[in-house]
Amino acid sequence: MTIAVQGSVAGKIGFASHQNAVPVLAELEIRNDGSETFQDLNVELTADPPFVEARTWRIDRLVAGTSVQIADRDVKLRASILAELNEAIAGVVTLQFTCAGEVLASHDYPVELLGRSEWGGASAMSELLAAFVMPNDPAVDRVLKAASDVLRRAGKKDGIDGYEAKSRTRVWELASAIWSAVSGLRISYALPPASFEAEGQKVRTPATILEGRVATCLDTALLFAAALEQAGLNPLVVLTKGHALVGVWLQPQEFAALITDEAAALRKRIDLSELAVFETTLATQTHAPGFKAAIDAGRRQIAEDRDGEFVMAIDIRRARMRRIRPLGSASPRAVAETEGVAEAITPLEEAPALPGFDVEVATELQTAADRIAMWQRKLLDLTTRNRLLSLPEGAKAVRLICPDPARLEDRLAAGKRIRIVALPDLGAGGRDEDLHRQLTGEGLREEYARAALERDEVLSTLDAKKLDASLVDLYRKAKSDLDEGGANTLYLALGFLKWRKSESDLVDGLVGRQRGLSRSPRRRFEDAAQPLPREGDRSSVCVWCARGGGSSSRVIQRRR
């Protein structure tokens, strides 16, 4: 065979693919590997069953040893066929090459045709999960009516007003009311298919859930997301291995990307009270807990010790900005024939103390507390990825010996430059440090460190070679960060607080002051109290000093 093809055909195609203009043919290249030149070559695309319209491309001339890229790959899907599928079926796309009526080559590409209400999984069509969030389904209005009743009975404004109140507390109350409304549906939980997050599953629409009162975790997550979106809020659908939950932005914002594949990004937003993630399946329990319990359960699902289970989070607002539209309801009259939503038995919970919207904080920074809150939301990474809050042993750091941090601070404040040098071999000549401590009450290392500090030197536990390499590495990285991003990422920390978040100990620096770091031609690193003239070899440094002393200090590189 002299004609070769390099094509990329979608492995799974459904009605959602048609509604959101997902291409069937992502790539098509025809290559002539033979010695013969072909004239008037035809490339024909057909499908069985005929879920796409047949398409023919004509190539005037294909010289031996050359190839041609087909730029116009528009292949039209037949919506009538895809919309009528209730179950997945196997299909095939065929590319056939003919010249002067002779078939030169033919290639078959297997395709799985999905049912109308079937999602193909993260492995094939992750973004299209947003299409199954259906806020315009008639059943969603019934849920929101029940949520309005919950608010009214609790003495709150019963309007479903989204972010109009410019209050995170109000957004939290709306989400809590929707939680109570869905809890009143008395839905029974159904186990999802194995590995649904990767391979996909059939999805129950809100109308189907109200009619059958059965739902998987993905079904309930999509129902909540639809209700939140119809309420004027920005939801997330979160997938972990074998499970799904939902989140809601407490102020009108969204992630920069449609899909977020790091749970840490969600945890950071939760810590800043910008996002709430909650477990939806608790609403299917006979005695459903309150919204706060659902939030606590959702937070555990994306905890740091379960990062390996996190798959992705899909930002529905970002999906709509990308023109991923919700599917229409297949049978809108089905809801009218079902019984109404029962009165919610889970009362509305009072919202926790939450800050106002960022737009309010930005214009009303009257107090230090307001400014600190804004800095936390806008600038600070409060997760354990921040090396100023958690410095693991394996982090880029140079451990220093500083038995008198107060004296070091005094010298820095006086404008002294402090050199970082390696600790010499104090056991040379047969000296025994333990015996010296017994005789004098002082350790050799501490005494030497104090004497070195009087010479404006601070010692490192690394040998001279490793110290030089580590300091050069830190210096270059910090200088690069400063030049490229304008951010200081090099810190000198004295004194550490050991704290425990889980079973592992974490350490962080305490109090900070601004300093400068310079590198001499002999690679002697100095810390200066005053900013140094920038001559291509200066980086800024922040000095952290512990009150009351401490013998542990490190130069650390903060992750940006």
Q: Are 13 and 78 in contact (CB under 8 A)?
A: no
- Cα–Cα distance between 559 and 540 in angstroms, integer? 15
- Cα–Cα distance between 475 and 517 in angstroms, integer? 8
- pLDDT score recorded for residue 239: 97
Pull the structure tokens for residue 150. 């919950």
- Cα–Cα distance between 526 and 417 in angstroms, integer? 6
- pLDDT score recorded for residue 540: 31
CATH 3.30.300.30 fits 3-113, yes or no: no
Read off the pLDDT of residues 203-235 as tens digits, 9 standing for 90 and up: 999 999 999 999 999 999 999 999 999 999 999
Angle of the 168-183 helix axis to the 217-230 helix axis, nearest 10: 130
Q: What are the beta bridge partners of residue 517?
A: 527, 539
In single-letter form, the type of residue at position 399 comes to R
Strands 505-509 and 496-500: antiparallel
Q: Are 200 and 277 in contact (CB under 8 A)?
A: no
pLDDT (mean) for 365-391 = 67
Three-class DSSP category at 339: coil
- Cα–Cα distance between 440 and 432 in angstroms, integer? 12
Read off the pLDDT of residues 275-285 as tens digits, 9 standing for 90 and up: 999 999 999 99
- Cα–Cα distance between 283 and 286 in angstroms, integer? 8
* pLDDT band per the 50, 70, 90 thresholds, residue 385: low
pLDDT (mean) for 106-112 = 93
What value does the mean pLDDT of the chain take? 82
Three-class DSSP category at 493: strand
pLDDT at 399 over 50: yes
In single-letter form, the type of residue at position 459 comes to L
- Cα–Cα distance between 375 and 17 in angstroms, integer? 42
Residue spans in the chain of domains classed CATH 2.60.40.10: 3-113
Q: Which has the closest alpha carbon to 215: 249, 188, 196? A: 188
- pLDDT score recorded for residue 355: 87
Name the residue with tokens 């065929």: 94
Count of H helices and E strands in the chain?
18, 27
Entry pTM: 0.65
Pull the structure tokens for residue 231. 């309420």
pLDDT (mean) for 88-101 = 91
pLDDT at 541 over 80: no
Read off the pLDDT of residues 443-463 as tens digits, 9 standing for 90 and up: 777 888 888 888 888 888 888
Read off the pLDDT of residues 236-254 as tens digits, 9 standing for 90 and up: 999 999 999 999 999 999 9
Compare 438 and 114 and report the one with higher pLDDT.
114
- pLDDT score recorded for residue 423: 82
Strand ordering across the sheet containing 235-240 = 259-260, 310-315, 235-240, 243-249, 275-278
pLDDT at 520 over 50: yes
* pLDDT band per the 50, 70, 90 thresholds, residue 532: very low
- Cα–Cα distance between 406 and 413 in angstroms, integer? 10
Name the residue with tokens 């017994």: 438
Name the residue with tokens 């009538």: 80
- Cα–Cα distance between 186 and 182 in angstroms, integer? 8
- Cα–Cα distance between 248 and 147 in angstroms, integer? 16
- pLDDT score recorded for residue 417: 86
Lowest mean pLDDT among 123-132, 269-278, 399-408: 399-408
Q: Are 259 and 299 in contact (CB under 8 A)?
A: no
- φ and ψ of 548, to 5 deg: 90, 5
Q: Are 311 and 245 in contact (CB under 8 A)?
A: no
- pLDDT score recorded for residue 432: 61
Asked if omega into 193 is within 30° of 0 (cis), the reply is no
Q: Which has the closest alpha carbon to 556: 500, 512, 499, 504? A: 512
- Cα–Cα distance between 374 and 358 in angstroms, integer? 7
Pull the structure tokens for residue 98. 């003919």
- φ and ψ of 99, to 5 deg: -145, 120
DSSP annotation string for 375-411? HHHHT---STTSTTT---TTSSEEEEE-S-HHHHHHH
Read off the pLDDT of residues 31-46 as tens digits, 9 standing for 90 and up: 888 888 888 889 999 9
